[in-house]
Amino acid sequence: MGERVMNIAVLCGGTSSEREISIVSGTQVCLALRAKGHRAILIDVFAGDSRVTERQLSSLEELFPESYDVEAAAAYARSFDEKIPEMKKRKVFWGPNVLEVSKAADCVFMALHGQNGEDGKIQASFELLGIPYTGSSYLGSALAMDKELSKQMFRENGVPTPAGIVLHRGQEELLPASENGIGLPCVVKPSCGGSSLGVSIASTEEEYQAALKEAFSYENTLIVEQYISGREFSVGVVDGVAYPIIEIAPIEGFYNYKNKYSAGSTVETCPADLPEDLSRKMQNACLAACKALRLNSYCRIDVMMDKEGNPYCLEANTLPGMTPTSLLPQEAAALGMDFGTLCEKLITVSLGEGQEEA
C-alpha cells in the first residue's frame, strides 16, 4: 500500500446474530487503519448514518475527516441494537447513506460477519455498483456460507471433510441418531450460521434431540456431522498462502460461542506444535478447500485432526474476526506482521486481485 492515504469505509453491524462481534471487528479495524494514517470511518450497513449531510457527501475531506471519533461511531451503531428487530420489517436493507459513503470510498473494508454480510449478497451488490471491497467474491462467499454446499464441494474436489447429512425443519423426528447414517457422537449445527451459534456435540439420543431443537431455533436447515475426536486448528489463507497454523484448545467443552469470546476460556497456540509434515499436510488441505470453494483474497479454514494425524476441513470463514486477538491476526503476528499492517495487506490483496472468481 506504500505511503498512499486511502479513504476507507469500514462496514459493520447488520442484522445477523453476529452483529455485536461485527461492530467489535469494525471498531478495531477502523482504529488500526487510522493509526496507519488512513481516513477510515465506521458505518453500520443496516442502521446507516442519517447524520451524514449533503455537504459531506460532496466533499471527501469532510466525509473522511482527518480527525474522527471511532468509539463514538461504534456507540452510534450500537444505539440501534434494540431497534433492529422492528427495523427488519422495512423493505430496504441498506441503511441511510451507506451506499453513498461506500461509493465515495476508495475501498470498503468488510468487517461484517454472518448472514447478509458474509454470504455474498452485499458482495454481489458491490460488484454491480463497481464498489471495491475486501474479501472473496460473491460466489465464493455464498458457497462458503452454506455448509451444505461447502461439504458437497469439498467431497467433489477431494478435500478431506467429516461425513455429514442435511436435515430440514420438519424432519427432526424422522431420523433418530441411530438411523441417520452418522451415529453418535455427532455434531449438529445450523447450515449458514457463524461464531458456532447453535452448534452442539451430542453423545446420546436425548442430547441429539435437544441439539436439533437448539439448532432449529436459529435456522431451518441443519448439518449433522461425524464427530472427529482430536485436536482443533485454524489456518488463515491470504493471497494463496497458508499462514502459520493456530491450535485452539478450549479449557472446557469445545470451541463454541462462549469459548470464542470469553477471555481465558481457550488456550490458543501459534504456531501450533505439529511436526512439519503434518503442518504441511494440513495447510495443503486448506489450500485445496479454498480452491474448491472458489475463494480468493483471504479467508480462514477451521480444521479438526484425528488421533492418526488426518486433517478434516470443517468450514471456511470468508470474513474472519478482526480484532488484535482474533485467530487470523494471531497467525499474522507469528509472521511478524502487526494488526494494522495485516489490515492494510487485506486491502492490498483484495484490490490487487479484484473480486473475480478464483
Mean pLDDT confidence for 225-230: 94
Res. 106: pLDDT tops 50: yes
What contacts 20, CB < 8 A, 6 or more positions away?
A: 78, 81
Contact 112, 135 (CB under 8 A): no
Res. 183: pLDDT tops 90: no
Mean pLDDT confidence for 252-267: 59
Res. 310: pLDDT tops 60: yes
Mean pLDDT confidence for 266-283: 96
Contact 118, 145 (CB under 8 A): yes
Q: Which of 115, 90, 92 is nearest to 16 (CA)?
A: 115
Chain centroid offset of residue 351 CA? 19
Active-site residue flag, 50: no
Mean pLDDT confidence for 14-18: 91
* CB count in 10 Å sphere of residue 290: 26
Average pLDDT, the chain: 91
Which pLDDT score is estimated for 356?
46
- Cα 177 from Cα 167, distance rounded (Å): 12
Q: In the chain, which ranges are E strands?
A: 7-12, 39-44, 107-110, 164-168, 186-190, 200-202, 221-226, 230-238, 241-242, 246-250, 266-269, 298-306, 311-317
Res. 252: pLDDT tops 90: no
Which of 18, 118, 219, 344 is an active site residue?
Answer: 18
- Percent of the chain clearing pLDDT 90 (strictly above): 75
Which of 7, 180, 261, 268 is an active site residue?
Answer: 261
Condensed to tens digits (0 to 9), the pLDDT of residues 70-102 reads: 999 999 999 999 999 999 998 899 999 999 999
Res. 172: pLDDT tops 90: no
Which of 297, 317, 326, 350 is an active site residue?
Answer: 317
Q: What is the CA radius of gyration of the chain?
A: 20
What one-character-per-residue DSSP string does 201-251 give? Answer: EE-SHHHHHHHHHHHHTT-SEEEEEE---EEEEEEEEETTEEPPPEEEEES
- Cα 116 from Cα 303, distance rounded (Å): 25
DSSP state of 95: P
Res. 190: pLDDT tops 50: yes
Which of 141, 321, 326, 350 is an active site residue?
Answer: 321
pLDDT band at 191 (very low <50, low <70, confident <90, very high): confident
- Percent of the chain clearing pLDDT 70 (strictly above): 91
| Residue 34 grid cell | 487510522
Res. 161: pLDDT tops 80: yes
pLDDT band at 13 (very low <50, low <70, confident <90, very high): very high
Mean pLDDT confidence for 223-234: 94
Amino acid at 205: E
Torsion sign across C-alpha atoms 333, 337, 339, 345: negative
Which pLDDT score is estimated for 17?
86
Which of 232, 315, 331, 344 is an active site residue?
Answer: 315
Which has more pLDDT, 115 or 36? 36
Which pLDDT score is estimated for 259?
45
Q: Strand 221-226 and strand 186-190: pairing? A: antiparallel
Active-site residue flag, 3: no
Which of 195, 259, 279, 297 is an active site residue?
Answer: 195
**What dihedral do alpha carbons 45, 235, 351, 21 form, nearest 10°?**
20
Which pLDDT score is estimated for 357?
44
Which pLDDT score is estimated for 56?
96
Active-site residue flag, 261: yes
Active-site residue flag, 306: no
| Residue 120 grid cell | 455474498
Which pLDDT score is estimated for 286?
98
- Does residue 351 sit in helix, strand or coil? helix
Domains of the chain in sequence order? 7-133 (3.40.50.20), 152-158+229-353 (3.30.470.20), 163-226 (3.30.1490.20)
Active-site residue flag, 315: yes
pLDDT band at 233 (very low <50, low <70, confident <90, very high): very high
pLDDT band at 260 (very low <50, low <70, confident <90, very high): low
DSSP state of 179: G
Which pLDDT score is estimated for 358?
40
Condensed to tens digits (0 to 9), the pLDDT of residues 235-248 reads: 999 999 999 999 99
pLDDT band at 262 (very low <50, low <70, confident <90, very high): low
Which pLDDT score is estimated for 255?
52
Q: Which of 281, 290, 275 is nearest to 241 (CA)?
A: 290
For the packed helices 147-156 and 138-145, what is the interaxial angle rounded to 10 degrees? 100
Condensed to tens digits (0 to 9), the pLDDT of residues 199-226 reads: 889 999 889 988 998 888 888 889 999 9
Which of 49, 119, 219, 302 is an active site residue?
Answer: 302
- The pTM (predicted TM-score) of the whole model is 0.90
Active-site residue flag, 317: yes
- Cα 170 from Cα 352, distance rounded (Å): 46
Q: Which residues pair with 190 in a beta bridge?
A: 222
Cα atoms in the 13 Å half-sphere on the side-chain side of 99: 12
- Cα 299 from Cα 353, distance rounded (Å): 14
Res. 228: pLDDT tops 80: yes
Which pLDDT score is estimated for 256?
46
